[in-house]
Structure 1
């Protein structure tokens, strides 16, 4: 396992990110800090091929709500990364004596970067091995370099990358196959023989003779020149530069990548990069960093890709090193916006990144303004990335299994955004967008579109609420910033025989999880959804009647006439009983309601019940502000 402590780096003001032993999936909205975490790992570890292409610079320094023109006195002045590595087998740490921590079960390396002052070009970079204050802070840099990374960037046009005239992708693969010098020389000698055969082909000889005629006329009066046709000097680079990868379905002839789909071209690009995993055997730990692998891949291929990465990581940890051999461990870190990628592993492998808005208190100690013009020192909103590792929440295995089974079945975005609306079933999920469009303004509607609407197909909200609302023991942050639950009262309070108070139980759970009204609320009716629609407004009655006609075309009239006109409680119970009695599908009924409403036009809107309206208005209110 690896734990990252990140300070002063871009949106990561002061955050700890825990990476799991096999695969960690970083999820969260855009600008939440997923790529920043990946870049921090790239700074903290050596590239697997030794070719570093990412360097720290002044603009990487976290800005504490500052304008572009300058920093405040209380802003961080340096960037600090700490990587802590633990192993189930303590003997794995034998090569890292200088980096061994006091607990004797972990090692750590600290990288500090101080940007250059204005007018200078070079910043100051320093390393420290272990938790020590010695003057010799990094006595064994070679040991630190036994921990490396392999970075696979987000793919946008793999065909262009693979078709590059440099041929570098193929060259890397060939070079890894020909590590021995004698093997390289033998390969080049064989290529030269083949080139010589090509050079002697009659057409090429004729072409040279054709050019020679003109050249003779131009040079015979001075220094007569002779032309020949041949290949450039043979080397691995020159040979691979002329090669192109081709692709086609098994059983057909491979063809140019331009004729292949982007998805399979992306997989081919990944395959060329992943061949470098063979080099993981030349490091103790290789962190495989894969950003947004879902680009151009259909859902099934996304799942297959993740299965492959999980398998490679697991196999590497089964490898037994002998003597001074490299350990060859692989740890995979993936960023994604795809539920198909994320749900290929269990939720315990998730680290959720959130973008928190915070307005710092004015006048607090250390917040004095620098001597800058007033226009440049006005306090701006501050955004910080916060990370919550699901494994660190202390949840019971049963809750995690329940959530995983749900995510596997639905590919839900439950853990992907800061706002979550939990619903009992499909009928509420169908009606929620229509109600939102009716009652919310443009800004509210945009926030609704950014809300994860999750029908759990039942009433057991507890496992989902525990995952979303349990505080991280270290940071005190939760996965969700706002959670609303819409549920039925199921006639509680209307029937002496019923003892279930689900809304009350949910509020008790919020109290247990220390989730205030600013964080979590439950919105419940007295009965169930359909009777509440009936009672919400008289304009709903003809819509409900017509929708019921679609459910029971031959007997709908008798059903409807049988509904008592009053009192309201009896009417509500009778309408609710119709669905169970005749096995009517509530999802179909909701679809019919919206279709009938659309046919009538703007004057035929289905009016939402008050509890539903209140829930939508609360979950889409202004951006949450973090008090921390």
Structure 2
């Protein structure tokens, strides 16, 4: 049993957002403000916390999706409630026999891919409608519907729904504070979970009390009591004489935990105060205390472990180790036998992250990419007392009527602010062929995975292009800081080859459930390899395939050169020839004169062809040549430092166009 789908309608930035989850670990990636935390809060609304002490988020008017309305000016047709719909699936129908009132039939999202067998596993559905309070002191109204809601009682078995729980690990954790002076409450919770048997608890408290009484008999404590007694006697003997003594308060789990602190040190050393540990390891200890709650997962059918930004304070290797540990937790829960009381005890992990290292620790099909999209809506003035007429901006894609045409309470308004919505692309739903999936799984590393975190991507063949493009952008956009910032927000991905299609199928194939792409723009920079017949033919075929992909799918453009990067730098002219010659000298100090004699001083095209042929026969490190080319130009770079080849300039200009230009 696992959470398979989530459909959010009218919840914060999720106007109409659908997500697909995988058994085991699902990682939500995306830029800031994409809506990752909103998804986690929605899951906290639709499931009960495993620890009853945890506070679930309380709905407010601010949770309602705002379709560009001014603050406090919702119209009569604006949303007053939000709908959160969850699907839970299982390949074993017996897992869901207690949820018969919520039973529906649908295709398993994990089997949408062509390579997966087609069948119709069992699925249950719950929909939660929340109407936030109209005033700060009001009460929110929650309505549940199980399955299709076709019965008179739309949620006839609420106790079944409560068998699905969550454990929440918040972001921005202050581990030293949580485990230090305020750590007693967390220690108390752990002790209470371990001492659920009343007889065992009473024996523990009796043992502690006996130990405390023994401590109270120590001479320094007795001496302190005597010192007080001597003075107390003088103060009370004229009335009702009093006797003083020292002892410990009655032993309770709360009083014991209040005086305990978590300690830690590297293995082999005595544990010390957390203040002496680094933030990263202290953060891991905090996680470990939260993960102890998973012992109670055996008393639920499904427990969602919701982890926000696990990478906080962790170096890359620890991030990978953490994700591997969480995966093992889910695997162990799947192997767990059903509890004698009927609990399934399954664990599913959902993680939000900004870390490529975390994102690459799971199979690509376990990734969901969230993005923030602006839907600008124009409004024209209407006669007094009538609703304003609104039309979506011409450049933007159509959206459903509830998003594109809600009423506004202010008929005098001529224009509303753009509405920002969360969109989702679940990689598992892109129907990747098995060969594509294997390639993407092997290709994605912490460098290439950054393409999932932004809206713009430049795919290049190798390291040389990735070295020179940032410098070229700085000079090309020296007088256009907004465009330079958009380049800084672009993922520059060297694929170390020419096999672009698997990347394009991930980045520029629409999610069949949402119609959204991972990338808004993908620029492919590739060599034409002119002058080498077989490679030129292969390059022509490769470029044509990319262009065919563009016409079928979407936001992709190819920017080929004629030869290779180095030859194109030479062909661009200006100071580039001298810069390349000096860089070439560093790699071939004895043979460079002969090499450049072969390049000659003829027409630019002839020089480029000759250099292309040299690169095929000489031992030249292209990455080193690119580094030395830029080093010779000196810094800071200016428009006179070098000449940017036209095909690269075109790629940089195209990929950094404003988002509002995307559909122009």
Please indicate the TM-score interval, normalised by the length of the shorter structure.
over 0.9
Tell me the SS of whatever aligns to 1:383.
Answer: strand
Question: C-alpha distance in 2, partners of 1:153/1:58?
Answer: 23
Question: 1: CA distance between counterparts of 2:549 and 2:562?
Answer: 20
Does residue 5 of the first structure (1) align with residue 45 of the second (2)? no
Deviating more after overlay: 81-90 vs 215-224 = 215-224
Residue 596 (structure 2) pairs with residue 560 (structure 1): yes
- 1:461-610 aligned within 5 A: 461-491=500-530, 498=537, 500-501=539-540, 502-513=542-553, 515=554, 519-598=555-634, 602=638, 605-610=641-646
Post-superposition shift, 1:138? 1.6
Give 1:77 shift.
2.0
Structure 1 SS opposite 2:18: strand
Hey, what does 1:249 align to over in structure 2?
Answer: 266
User: Residue 584 of structure 1 aligns to a residue in which SS?
Assistant: coil
CA distance in 1, matches of 2:246, 2:339: 53
Q: Does 1:434 align with 2:471?
A: yes
What's the Cα RMSD here?
2.2
SS in 1 for 2:225: helix
The 1:176/1:37 distance shift into structure 2, 3 A limit, reads same
Q: Is the 8 A contact 1:87 1:93 kept in 2?
A: yes
1:322 Cα deviation (Å)?
5.7
1:290 aligns with 2:290: no
Measure, in 2, the Cα distance between the counterparts of 1:591 and 1:85. 53
Alpha-carbon distance between aligned partners in 2 of 1:151 and 1:506, rounded to the nearest angstrom: 44
Q: Look up the SS of the partner of 1:81 in the other structure.
A: strand
Question: Do residues 208 (structure 1) and 225 (structure 2) align?
Answer: yes
CA 230–337 in structure 1, closer or farther in 2 if over 3 Å, else same: same
CA deviation map 1:340-360 (0-9, x unaligned)? 111111111000001111113
CA 1:600–1:278 in structure 2 vs 1: closer, same or farther (change >3 Å)? Answer: closer
* Equivalent residues in 2 for 1:408-447, closer than 5 Å: 408=445, 410=447, 412-440=449-477, 441-447=480-486
SS at match of 1:454: strand
CA pair 382-219 structure 1, distance change in 2 beyond 3 A: same
Does structure 2 retain, via aligned residues, the 8 Å contact 1:356–1:384? yes
Aligned to 1:156: 173
Q: How far apart are 1:230 and its partner, in Å?
A: 1.7
Whether 1:619 aligns to 2:636 is no
- Report the secondary structure of 2:264's partner residue: coil
Confirm or deny: 8 A CA contact 1:155 1:293 kept in the other structure.
no
8 Å CA contact 2:529–2:535 kept in 1: the answer is no
Q: 1:230 aligns with which of 247, 268, 272?
A: 247
The alignment partner of 2:130 has SS state of strand
Shift of 1:210: 1.7
1:508 aligned counterpart, secondary structure: helix
Q: Provide the C-alpha distance between the structure 1 equivalents of 2:235 and 2:415, rounded to a whole number of angstroms.
A: 76
Counterparts in 2 of 1:603 and 1:220: CA distance versus 1, 3 Å: same
TM-score (norm 1): 0.95
Question: Hey, what's the Cα distance between the residues in 1 that align with 2:481 and 2:628?
Answer: 26
The answer to whether the aligner puts 1:190 opposite 2:192 as a matched pair is: no
After TM superposition, give the deviation of residue 426 of structure 1 in Å: 0.4
Q: Is the 8 A contact 1:66 1:380 kept in 2?
A: yes
Instruction: Give the secondary structure class of the aligned counterpart of 1:562.
Output: helix
- 1:223 deviates by 2.4
| Contact 2:205–2:252 (CA under 8 A) maintained in structure 1 | yes
Further displaced range: 520-529 or 161-170: 161-170
Q: Provide structure 1 residue ranges, at least 5 long, that are not aligned to the other structure.
A: none
Residue 439 of structure 1 deviates from its aligned partner by: 1.0
CA shift, 1:291, in A, is: 0.5
1:330 CA displacement:
0.7
Match of 1:350?
367
CA drift at 1:114: 1.3
1:96 is paired with a residue whose SS is helix
Distance 1:557 1:599 in 2: 27
- Alignment-derived partner of residue 82 in structure 1: 85
* CA deviation profile, 1:306-346 (whole Å, cap 9, x unmatched): 00111111121122316642000111100011111111111
Judged with a 3 Å threshold, the aligned counterparts in structure 2 of structure 1 residues 499 and 298 are, in CA distance, closer, same or farther, namely closer
Per-residue deviation, 1:448: 1.1
Q: What's the counterpart of residue 55 of structure 1?
A: 58
Structure 2: state its 5+ residue gaps: 107-120, 380-389, 392-400
Q: Who is 1:341 aligned against?
A: 358
Corresponding residue SS for 1:590 = helix
Deviation at 1:569, TM superposition (A): 3.0
From 497, 509, 514, the counterpart of 1:458: 497
State the alpha-carbon separation in 2 of the partners of residues 495 and 567 from structure 1. Answer: 25
Asked if the contact 1:262/1:296 (under 8 Å) is kept, the reply is: yes
d(CA) in 2 for partners of 1:258, 1:318: 39
Q: Which residue of the other structure, out of 68, 83, 107, is the alignment partner of 1:65? A: 68
Displacement of 1:209 after TM fit?
1.4
Structure 2 residue aligned with 1:374:
412
Tell me if the contact between 2:174 and 2:283 (Cα under 8 Å) persists in the aligned partners: yes
- Alignment partner of 1:392 is 2:429: yes
Q: 1:218 aligns with which of 235, 239, 247?
A: 235
- TM-superposed deviation, 1:410: 4.1
Alignment of 1:16-35 (within 5 A): 16-35=18-37
Larger deviation, residues 253-262 vs 502-511: 502-511
- Corresponding pairs, count: 623
The two structures have a TM-score, normalised by structure 2, of 0.90
Q: Could you list the per-position Cα deviations for residues 195-217 of structure 1 after superposition, in whole angstroms to 9, with x for gaps in the alignment?
A: 01111110111111122233223
Structure 2 Cα separation of the partners of residues 145 and 399 of structure 1: 40
Aligned-pair CA distance for 1:492: 7.2
1:124 corresponds, among 141, 148, 154, to: 141
The CA deviation at 1:115 is: 2.2
Please tell me whether residue 448 in structure 1 is matched to residue 450 in structure 2.
no
SS at match of 1:288: strand
Q: After TM superposition, where is structure 1 displaced by more than 4 Å over at least 4 residues in a row?
A: 492-497, 599-604, 624-628
Cα separation, partners in 2 of 1:535 and 1:469, compared to 1, 3 Å: same
Q: CA deviation at 1:166?
A: 5.3
User: How many angstroms apart in 1 are the aligned matches of 2:343 and 2:525?
Assistant: 54
Query: Cα deviations across residues 463-486 of structure 1 (Å, max 9, x unaligned)?
Result: 000000111111111111111111
Relative to structure 2, which stretch is displaced further, 553-562 or 421-430?
553-562
Structure 2 Cα separation of the partners of residues 247 and 96 of structure 1: 44
The 8 Å contact of residues 598 and 604 in structure 1, kept in 2 or not, is answered as no
> 1:600: how far off?
9.2
Within 2, Cα distance between the matches of 1:145 and 1:25? 25
| 1:116 alignment partner, SS class | coil
Matched position secondary structure for 1:414 = helix
Which deviates more, 49-58 or 122-131? 49-58
1:346–1:172 Cα change, 3 Å: same
